[in-house]
Amino acid sequence: MNFDLTEEQEMFRSSVERFAAPIDVEARRKLRLSPTGYDRERWTALADLGLITLAAPEDAGGMGGSVLDLALVAEAIGKANSPDPLLEHGVLPVILLTTGGQDGILEDVLSGAQVLSFAWAERAARYNLNASNMKAESTADGFSLSGEKTFVMGALLSDLFVVTADFDGETSCFLVPKGADGVEVRAYRLADGSIAGELKLTRVRVGAAAKLNISPARLADIVAEARLLAAAEMLGLGQRLLDDTVTYVKEREQFGVAIGSFQALQHRLVEAYAKIEQCRSMLYRAALTDASYTEERHRAAAGAKAFIGENVDAVAREAVQMHGGMGITDELAIGHAMKRVMVLAKLFGDASSALSEYAAAA
């Protein structure tokens, strides 16, 4: 089988590398410390590259990229240690909107004019996609939503929320403007410096068109794809952690020689290299799984998320240990990379929950 990238895939990967190149550690830290945790102008510039349109089908004004295309872009973002939230505010919302028949809003999302967040997590529900705390009721002209969500990524950056709610005993998705009456947001910072928040809705009224046409089964398919892309970004971050550590041990001297000459460290770095290559194989295997085999696709995505999350975390810990105490700070790229891995590893299920789903589907 030929695993060489196509010309188009190489172009997108190169575009990400050029876009992320000016963002060094200090610039990344300043960006994260901004009031919303990110910059809207930079988001518009990212949209101009066409990276968001890659997730939309051609008949909706997008490029119709495959899961593998999106995974390669996510991997490149991770390798560049870029702070750009393409997965949570670009790819995932686009898939939700196109699946749910919300093409009217899609144009602004693809251009970067509007930013969306997916509000699905609830307290004491772990990673369960079924909404129970958030309730939706029919009204004369639409719906009324009440309840709370947690871990809403980009809570201050977003203009709209795609909120899951229990409607007539089934989990449904609704579009809710952040400025609507009855919407409250309490923001907090995550480990990687980005901003998430608690979302409280009190009898928030939305029109009939706000309900997305997404069944619970289709929502599970979308989340499986998001898991795979989170794993792809973690893979890129793992490669960055390894590359930076190899460079460091060649330069750092102890007892008059570079510490990279110590055999014990060489063996540990070889093991880290092997872990990254195994993760890459796992990612491509999952991304190339036939989409028509839904259960197999879900199983492969869960397995990839668990395997890559655990192994990249192990590489991150090796990187920090070899750098010493400064490795965990925001002064070095590996500190930022490790913290981003910590967030992505928990997105839509940690390793334990992903492994449980993998075992149940096996």
- What's the pLDDT score for residue 11? 83
**For the segment 182-239, what is each residue's pLDDT rounded down to a tens digit?**
999 999 999 999 999 999 999 999 999 999 999 999 999 999 999 999 999 999 999 9
Paired sense of beta strands 160-167 and 116-119, if any? parallel
pLDDT tens per residue across span 32-88: 888 999 999 999 999 998 899 999 999 988 998 899 999 999 999 999 999 999 999
According to DSSP H, which parts of 148-262 are helical? 216-251
This prediction's pTM: 0.95
How far is the C-alpha of 147 from the C-alpha of 130, rounded, in Å? 14
**pLDDT higher than threshold 80 for residue 275:** yes
Q: What does the DSSP 8-state code read for residue 209?
A: G
- Judge whether 7-114 and 216-361 match in fold: no
Nearest to 109 by CA among 47, 64, 195, 65: 47
Q: How far apart are CA 242 and CA 274, in angstroms?
A: 11
CB-count burial class (<10 Å; 0-12, 13-18, 19+) for 348: buried
Give domain 216-361's CATH superfamily. Answer: Butyryl-CoA Dehydrogenase, subunit A, domain 3 (1.20.140.10)
Which two three-digit tokens encode residue 122?
A: 């609830």
Q: 7 falls in which pLDDT band (50, 70, 90)? A: confident
For the chain, the residue count is 362
The answer to whether 337 touches 241, Cβ cutoff 8 Å, is: yes
Domain boundaries defined on the chain:
7-114, 117-212, 216-361
Q: At what angle do helices 263-287 and 67-79 cross, to 10 degrees?
A: 150
Domain boundaries 117-212, corresponding CATH code: 2.40.110.10
| Span 7-114 CATH architecture | Orthogonal Bundle (1.10)
Question: Is 319:334 a contact under the CB 8 Å cutoff?
Answer: yes
